[in-house]
Amino acid sequence: MLTRSDDLMILLAVVDHGGFSAAAEVLDLQVARVSRAVSKVEQQLGVSILNRTTRRVELTEEGRAFVETVRLGLNQVLRAEEELINRGELPQGKLRVDAASPFIFHQLVPLVKPFQVAYPDIELELTSNEGFVDLLEKRTDVAIRIGKLEDSTLHARSLGRSELFLVAAPSYIETCGVAFESAEADIPHLLSQHRLIGFTAPKILNQWPLANSGVIQPSLSASNGETVRQLALAGNGIACLSGFMVKQDIAAGHLVSVFEHHRLTNTGREQVNAVYYRSSNVAKRISAFIDFIQPQLTL
């Protein structure tokens, strides 16, 4: 008798190979068995996952979101099984993780509970610093760093890229009375007419991804990215923030991405890396943590 995870894997095969017959051939199953597995999942969910035609199958809108989640979940299960087989036991002990507070709030906090379920013997300790920390001095096992890496003594694993967005609240846009598009040469002048929310330090964070803009002169400054975000949400002006902080705000309409025609997308500050010392004696815990969070980050 098929288990639920078997049914889900069959469903993914149908989606990936474009049909029931193709999936059955790859999985070495009868077409009827593949069809039953997909129907069983749909019946349990009470929604249609696939639109079936005589030539091919296509995902419904509900099915597309469901399949993405299923693929992520099954990959985690397979990875966990492989780790158990390869290592013989789950990693255990304390793991100290450092990141800027916005990254912790928006990316790590939602993953803490499922990580602890997957690795109940790892004692997670989160610290937040707005600047780069010395891993040895702060007794940190792994740090999440945004932007270009300078320290060659650290081992780094890329977690992906998070684009920079220039954002403002609808309330600011409605009342500011100044345009957001201009010929590229006029961008510095145009920015000077807006209220700009920046960082007190480091100054590179006030280098916005706009050609010829230079380092902006903020009308309002804060030392913390989450504070900058809250100031932008409250309608205080335009801010430059990473996508991992504001993508949901933009999607929900709480913030609007401005200067889109002028925004640069490859400044080096988009890089997100996990860094740690190569000789770390907590390598198993570090690998478990990075392998777990990487596919679930919404950068």
The answer to whether 59 and 252 have CB atoms below 8 angstroms apart is no
Asked if residue 116 is part of any domain, the answer here is: yes
> How many other β-carbons are positioned within 10 Å of the β-carbon of residue 85?
8
- Co-location of 170 and 248 in the same domain: yes
Asked if residue 267 is part of any domain, the answer here is: no
Asked if residue 231 is part of any domain, the answer here is: yes
Nearest-angstrom CA–CA distance, 25 and 8: 17
**What pLDDT is recorded for position 84?**
60
The answer to whether 153 and 160 have CB atoms below 8 angstroms apart is no
Asked if residue 209 is part of any domain, the answer here is: yes
- Co-location of 241 and 197 in the same domain: yes
- CATH number for the domain spanning 44: value is 1.10.10.10
The pTM score is: 0.68
The answer to whether 173 and 279 have CB atoms below 8 angstroms apart is no
- Co-location of 30 and 109 in the same domain: no
3-state secondary structure of 202: coil
- Co-location of 183 and 249 in the same domain: yes
The answer to whether 31 and 20 have CB atoms below 8 angstroms apart is yes
Low-confidence ranges of the chain (pLDDT < 70): 1-3, 53-55, 78-89, 130-138, 151-153, 181-185, 278-281
Asked if residue 262 is part of any domain, the answer here is: no
Structure tokens belonging to residue 69: 């989640």
Q: Which of 25, 57, 86 is at the close of a domain?
A: 86
Nearest-angstrom CA–CA distance, 28 and 31: 9
Nearest-angstrom CA–CA distance, 208 and 215: 7
- CATH number for the domain spanning 106: value is 3.40.190.10
- Across the beta sheet with 154-161, the strand order is 122-128, 93-99, 142-146, 271-277, 154-161
Please name every residue paired with 22 in a beta bridge, in sequence order, or none if there are none.
none
- Co-location of 224 and 252 in the same domain: yes
The answer to whether 166 and 239 have CB atoms below 8 angstroms apart is yes
Asked if residue 114 is part of any domain, the answer here is: yes
The answer to whether 205 and 247 have CB atoms below 8 angstroms apart is no
What does the DSSP 8-state code read for residue 223? S
**What pLDDT is recorded for position 1?**
42
Nearest-angstrom CA–CA distance, 165 and 256: 9
Asked if residue 77 is part of any domain, the answer here is: yes
- Co-location of 154 and 277 in the same domain: yes
- Co-location of 107 and 147 in the same domain: yes
- Co-location of 100 and 181 in the same domain: no
- Co-location of 180 and 228 in the same domain: yes
**What pLDDT is recorded for position 136?**
59
Could you give the residue ranges of the DSSP H alpha helices within 119-186?
Answer: 170-176
Domain holding 283, by residue range, is 92-160+272-296
